[in-house]
Amino acid sequence: MKNNAILLLSAPDQKGIVHAVTDFLLKNDGNVVDIDQHVDLDNQLFFMRVEWELSGFRIPHDKIGEYFQTLVGNKFQIQSTLYFTQKRPRLAIFVSKYSHCLHDILSRYQSGEWDVEIPFIISNHQKLSSIIENYNIPFHHIPVTKDTKAIQERKQLELLESNNIDFVVLARYMQILSDDFVSQFPNKVINIHHSSLPAFVGANPYKAAFDRGVKFMGATAHYVTADLDEGPIIAQDITPITHRDNISDMKRKGRDIEKIVLAKAIWSHINHNVIVHGNKTVVFE
Amino acid sequence: MKNNAILLLSAPDQKGIVHAVTDFLLKNDGNVVDIDQHVDLDNQLFFMRVEWELSGFRIPHDKIGEYFQTLVGNKFQIQSTLYFTQKRPRLAIFVSKYSHCLHDILSRYQSGEWDVEIPFIISNHQKLSSIIENYNIPFHHIPVTKDTKAIQERKQLELLESNNIDFVVLARYMQILSDDFVSQFPNKVINIHHSSLPAFVGANPYKAAFDRGVKFMGATAHYVTADLDEGPIIAQDITPITHRDNISDMKRKGRDIEKIVLAKAIWSHINHNVIVHGNKTVVFE
Amino acid sequence: MKNNAILLLSAPDQKGIVHAVTDFLLKNDGNVVDIDQHVDLDNQLFFMRVEWELSGFRIPHDKIGEYFQTLVGNKFQIQSTLYFTQKRPRLAIFVSKYSHCLHDILSRYQSGEWDVEIPFIISNHQKLSSIIENYNIPFHHIPVTKDTKAIQERKQLELLESNNIDFVVLARYMQILSDDFVSQFPNKVINIHHSSLPAFVGANPYKAAFDRGVKFMGATAHYVTADLDEGPIIAQDITPITHRDNISDMKRKGRDIEKIVLAKAIWSHINHNVIVHGNKTVVFE
Amino acid sequence: MKNNAILLLSAPDQKGIVHAVTDFLLKNDGNVVDIDQHVDLDNQLFFMRVEWELSGFRIPHDKIGEYFQTLVGNKFQIQSTLYFTQKRPRLAIFVSKYSHCLHDILSRYQSGEWDVEIPFIISNHQKLSSIIENYNIPFHHIPVTKDTKAIQERKQLELLESNNIDFVVLARYMQILSDDFVSQFPNKVINIHHSSLPAFVGANPYKAAFDRGVKFMGATAHYVTADLDEGPIIAQDITPITHRDNISDMKRKGRDIEKIVLAKAIWSHINHNVIVHGNKTVVFE
């Protein structure tokens, strides 16, 4: 298992940031294994992801953040987050009745494709409990109605906190989280929703897309913000549709693209490849 | 050059239509070279495209429509349109200042990829006139302002009529046609517009898409209806975008997808592969 | 559950086939719900898939094949196969050590997306047995070595026969089936293999593709023939690759495309949408 | 017009390269506008592209290469190439009889999408001369036979030299260049060829792909090496194919993908985004 540190940072663009960051690492014997950056010239913003080996690095783990901010960050007004590859991200999954994304996530988890821990899964229904049990993951049935939503969200938040959850995946969880909930996990709740070109909203988007005769079904994985389905996009993909596809075909094809796009977004998140700025993302590869 | 007839038809779905149509052709010695149909089970609609050789067919060209409607169409409430492959579709192009779609259309025309005639090209600007001259196609400069729109559209319509134009392509023509104009060419005016996933509207859609951090740029070719950009979709495609693409990159990549999608739609139209029903299309291949 | 018959047929192209087939159905009160055909003009071949409701159809189920061949098929040299939607296809899965395709298949099976029965799963390894047990599907561990191959294949064939298996899916089964095995299940064994653009063969195709710097990884699902990996293609898809993807990334992305393409091929097969002719397929949608 | 310098470099991977390069620029008041790098961990190779403003940079243009190599390059065994954005790349196009790539290139050139100069176009046929004349670009008709190949290539090379050509694009030039020719323009001759998944070679690849029933047509743009069609890949893309596409359709769809992929490769080349190492490329975006 790798023993690396990863620093994600954003700052107003200015001369010398890359040099200052690499200088900080070089002077302290940090061996850089990956570095990537991006400049948004239109908005004069600088983004960077740098990963280096901790073995031989002179600054103790628990001091790296402080030293970096003091020696480099403050000078360039850098906002940074530090991760360690030996800290496996702890993921809580929320589901309702659809199983395709859940199955896909759990099969990747079981095969070792993803280096995460899944302490528990929450659902507002019992329907998928037997699938979850087969994977030996604790299951919490927390039904939600309009009246019980506030109290049930408190239960959910307690579970997240007591289990030190790092991020949440809404794997076709058909409930809207309250602003209060979302604000406690900024850029840490990932949602997947289907969409098409052009986009349709409303009660029955598949029917609307069918009636319009769209040639694509799409899926968008994004961080949840107070503005439903409008948070920063992490991953998107599409699948072609023809007039021969009825609504049932569109849903079936939609499921495939949903699960693949959600997995792609989770991969980017757990590898600390995503920097959010405003309502958009930089997704390093 | 092929000497075939093509019949496009739509009808309420019912037993025996395919049999009746093929019976009509077989009894009159029509050799079918291509047949395709589609049933929209949700709406109980039947669509069909059949192409057969005129050589040896017993019914004279100018009587086929009448005979078919009398012998088959009326019984099944069929709406049909008849085309002959020896009649080359006559296309009028409308452009403004962007040249990418125009170049692409003219290069296909010149190389013989498309079996069409282009009697003239209209633009509200002079900018592209020299390109057009190089192809030896008559050019009409018809500038349009809010005040002159009605009178200029009348000029355009006169040109369309006196040249027996079959269909119009708006190759990035930045003007909105009046409802009156559109109603005279139902499902005969093809437009191309860019779009993304999700879709953005308004004055600066590229900026909006950039600020949202979309991962795709798309293009949609559709028949123009009174409801701007909302007519029946003929073809769509997308091209991936990352955070590294600035607005200028998005426009450049958008141009490529626009010209290819527009060409695909024109190909479907001139081969009589498209049936419009309500606000959607059946596009046979 | 639908109670329909499906007829797949191929024949030398000639006048009157569609009419004769639809006449046969109409005369016997068969209500056609779907019809599709294709003419390969280059090779003068005709292909057709027609589906009709058995309710009210005059010919008894067990006589349809005989009547059709006598009344229609012989006249046009038609080769046909008849299926009934109430007969759920019986699928045997062969796996080795990779779980991604297996998980994907079983999750679709469990959710009811596919109308199939899976009487058992065979593996030459024990590794995936616990996954299979969770789905309550009988598991047969049949290890294969060079020396035991012939005898083990006989065991496999006995299982297929005694369980009335209709088709086999090699879900990343890392063994080559003998010609004898394959010849007993013509166009009934589906394999998935990765590929790229251009294609690489040999012991380490991922390494070869990486060293060439390909921009795509692909997957091909095909019927197994005596000529390894060269059988009729049912489905293909690709996923983009950049220089940033190392071999491990290519394998991870390859797995996603493999499982989706294999599922697409199985969907086409179980819906009787595929006609094989020579070494290629017609795949109706 | 931008007045920037671009440095492309590759080196054995080692600690401190990024720092050394950015130090060199910072110390000499170079304002970095874009920086990207890639580490091939498997082969321990480091690649970098850095672009900075020349305005205010302390080292004179004609000394930058020497200073960089002395102060930074030698220490890290860096191989580097230096470009200036004010030096418009000079492109010679070679064509035969197919016009789609030529039209596409010239329309981008004329619209100003590409910042290149095209001093002349060479063809072994007269067929496309009138297209070229419309763009006011000198045209050289240099027919090639087996017997005259050596002497005609010498003519071509003289034209390239006397016109200070930076790179050559074979826009469906149906001749194979000699090893001698290629060796004089290493990684400076871009070719486009069609391909499919799996790949087909030989006299009639479209026919072979059709007979195999491939589901994709692809195109590959690559630098020409002595090993025909096997040079480093710059760009690739694919377009879906179904059984409904005959060979003529495959060619038509192939042309679209060829011209778009070739344009993408040229864009990467003229923006100095491509580093070749061994037989593969790093293509920065």
pLDDT exceeds 70 at position B86: yes
Average of pLDDT values for B75-104? 97
Using the beta-carbon criterion (under 8 Å), do D256 and B260 form an inter-chain contact?
yes
Average pLDDT, chain A: 94
Topology of domain D90-283 in CATH is Rossmann fold (3.40.50)
Q: How far apart are CA D55 and CA C112, in angstroms?
A: 66
pLDDT of B201: 63
- Predicted confidence at residue B197, as pLDDT, reads 58
Q: What is the pLDDT of residue A228?
A: 72
DSSP character string of C161-180: HHTT--EEEESS--SPPPHH
Architecture of domain A4-84: 2-Layer Sandwich (3.30)
Q: Looking at the partner chain, which of A210, A236, A279 has a beta carbon nearest the beta carbon of B211?
A: A279
- CATH 3.30.70.260 placement within chain B: 4-84
Distance from CA of B35 to the nearest CA of C (A): 7
A145 pLDDT more than 80:
yes
pLDDT value for D228 = 72
Most D CBs within 10 Å, among A35, A76, A238, to test the D interface:
A35
* Catalytic position from the list D229, D237, D249, D256: D229
Query: Given B23, B26, B39, which is nearest C15 (Cβ)?
Result: B26
What are the DSSP calls for B168-210, one per residue?
EEESS--SPPPHHHHHHSTT-EEEEEEEESS---SS-HHHHHH
Q: In chain A, what percentage of residues exceed pLDDT 90?
A: 87
| Confidence at residue A197, expressed as pLDDT on a 0 to 100 scale | 58
Residues of B in contact with C22 (CB under 8 A): 16, 18-19, 22
Q: How confident is the model at residue C207, as a pLDDT?
A: 86
- Write out the residues of chain A at the interface with chain D, using a CB-CB cutoff of 8 A: 15-16, 18-19, 22-23, 25-26, 31-37, 39, 41, 240
- pLDDT averaged over every residue in chain D: 94
**Chains in contact with chain B (at least 3 beta-carbon pairs closer than 8 A):** A, C, D
C-D C-beta contacts closer than 8 Å: 92
Between B190-204, B245-259, D107-121, D239-253, the lowest mean confidence (pLDDT) is in: B190-204
| Contacts of D187 by beta carbon, 8 Å cutoff, 6+ apart | D223, D232, D274, D276
Closest by Cβ to C99, choosing from A99, A107, A267:
A107
Q: What is the pLDDT of residue C194?
A: 83
Q: What is the enclosing helix (H) or strand (E) of A105?
A: helix A100-111
Q: What is the pLDDT of residue B195?
A: 77
Q: How far is A276 from chain B (nearest CA, A)?
A: 10
Closest approach of D126 to chain A, Cα-based (Å): 41
- Whole-angstrom distance, CA of residue D8 vs CA of residue D28: 18
Quote the ipTM score: 0.94
Nearest-CA distance C138 → chain D (Å): 35
Residue type, A63: K
Average pLDDT, chain C: 94
Inter-chain touch D263–B242, beta carbons under 8 Å? no
A176-188 average pLDDT score = 95
Give the pLDDT of residue A115. 95
Pair B237, B259: CB distance under 8 Å: no
What's the pLDDT score for residue D199?
66
Q: How far is B46 from chain A (nearest CA, A)?
A: 12
Contact D111 B99 (CB under 8 A): yes
Q: Which of B137-141, B161-165, C217-221 has the lowest mean pLDDT?
A: C217-221
Phi, psi for B270 (deg, rounded to 5) = -75, -20
Helix, strand, coil shares of chain D, percent, nearest 5, are 35, 30, 35
Average pLDDT value for residue range A276-282: 94
CB-count exposure of residue A253 (10 Å: 0-12, 13-18, 19+): buried
Query: Is the pLDDT reported for residue D195 higher than 80?
Result: no
The mean per-residue pLDDT over the stretch B9-38 comes to 95
Q: Are A135 and A106 in contact (CB under 8 A)?
A: yes
- Span(s) in chain B for CATH 3.40.50.170: 90-283
The answer to whether the beta carbons of residues D270 and D5 sit under 8 Å apart is: no
In angstroms, the separation between the Cα of residue C233 and the nearest Cα of chain D is 6
- Specify whether the CB–CB gap between A203 and A234 falls below 8 A: no
DSSP classification of residue A62: G
Residue range A96-141, pLDDT digits in tens: 999 999 999 999 999 999 999 999 999 999 999 999 999 999 999 9
Residue C197 has its nearest CB partner, among D218, D246, D278, at D218
Interface residues from chain C to A (CB-CB < 8 Å): 99-100, 103-104, 107, 110-111, 113, 131, 134, 242, 244-245, 252, 255-256, 260, 263, 285
Q: What is the pLDDT of residues D42-76, one digit of tens each?
A: 899 999 999 999 999 999 999 999 999 999 999 99
Of A22, A36, A39, the CB nearest to D22: A22
Quote the pLDDT of residue C64. 98
> What distance in Å separates the CA atoms of residue D231 and residue C142, rounded to the nearest whole number?
45
Pairwise CA distance, residues A215 & A219, whole Å: 14
Q: How high is the pLDDT of residue C226?
A: 87
**CB contacts, 8 Å: C240 with chain B:** 240
Residue type, C146: K
Interface with A, mutate which of D19, D52, D282 (most A CBs under 10 A): D19
With tokens 């192409």, the residue in question is: B51
- Binned at pLDDT 50, 70 and 90, residue C66 comes out as very high
DSSP state of B61: G
D276: confidence class by pLDDT, cuts 50, 70, 90:
very high
Only one residue has tokens 């495609």, namely: B237
Q: How confident is the model at residue A202 (pLDDT cuts 50, 70, 90)?
A: low
Contacts of C284 (CB under 8 A, 6+ apart): C36, C38, C49, C273, C274, C275
- Put simply, the answer to whether B263 touches D256 (Cβ < 8 Å) is yes
Q: Is the pLDDT of residue A199 over 90?
A: no
Contact D23 A19 (CB under 8 A): yes
C45: Cβ–Cβ under 8 A, 6 or more apart, which residues? C10, C11, C12, C13, C39, C277
Q: With contacts defined as CB-CB under 8 Å, which chain D residues touch B260?
A: 256, 260
Q: What's the pLDDT tens digit per position in B106-118?
A: 999 999 999 999 9
pLDDT, tens digit, for every residue of C176-235?
999 999 999 999 999 998 876 566 666 677 888 888 888 998 899 999 998 877 899 999
**Do residue B107 and residue D99 have CB atoms under 8 angstroms apart?**
yes
From the list A60, A114, A123, the residue with the least C-alpha distance to A91 is A114
pLDDT of C139 reads 98
Query: Which chain D residue is nearest to residue C247, measuring alpha carbons?
Result: D42
Look at the alpha carbons of A173, A175, A179, A184 in this order and tell me if their dihedral is positive or negative: negative
Catalytic amino acids of B? 229
Q: What per-residue confidence (pLDDT) applies to B202?
A: 66
pLDDT above 90 (res B206): no
User: Which tens digit of pLDDT belongs to each residue from D154-164?
Assistant: 999 999 999 99
